[in-house]
Structure 1
Amino acid sequence: MFGRVVRQTCTAAGISQQALAYMAGLERSYFGRIERGKNQPTLYVILKVAPALGYEAGALVTLVERAMAEESAL
Structure 2
Amino acid sequence: MVFACITIRAVPLDIAASIGPAVRKHREILRLSQEELGDRAGLDRTYIGQVERGRRNPTMVSLQRIAHGLGIELDVLIATARELAAGRS
Would you call these one fold, judging by a TM-score over 0.5?
Answer: yes
Q: Matched residues in 2 for 1:31 and 1:42: separation?
A: 12
**1:12 corresponding residue in structure 2:** 29
Task: Write out per-residue CA displacement over residues 24-60 of structure 1, whole angstroms, 9 at most, x where no aligned residue.
Answer: 0001111111111111111011110111111111111
The one-letter code of the counterpart of 2:81 is: V
The alignment-based identity, stated in percent, is: 32
Q: Which runs of 4+ in 1 moved over 2 A?
A: none
Would you tell me which structure has more helix in proportion to its own residues? 1
In the comparison of the two structures, how many residue pairs are matched? 71
Gapped regions of structure 2 (runs ≥ 5) = 1-17
Gaps of 5+ in 1: none
d(CA) in 2 for partners of 1:41, 1:24: 13
Residue of structure 2 in register with 1:22 after alignment: 39
SS at match of 1:40: coil
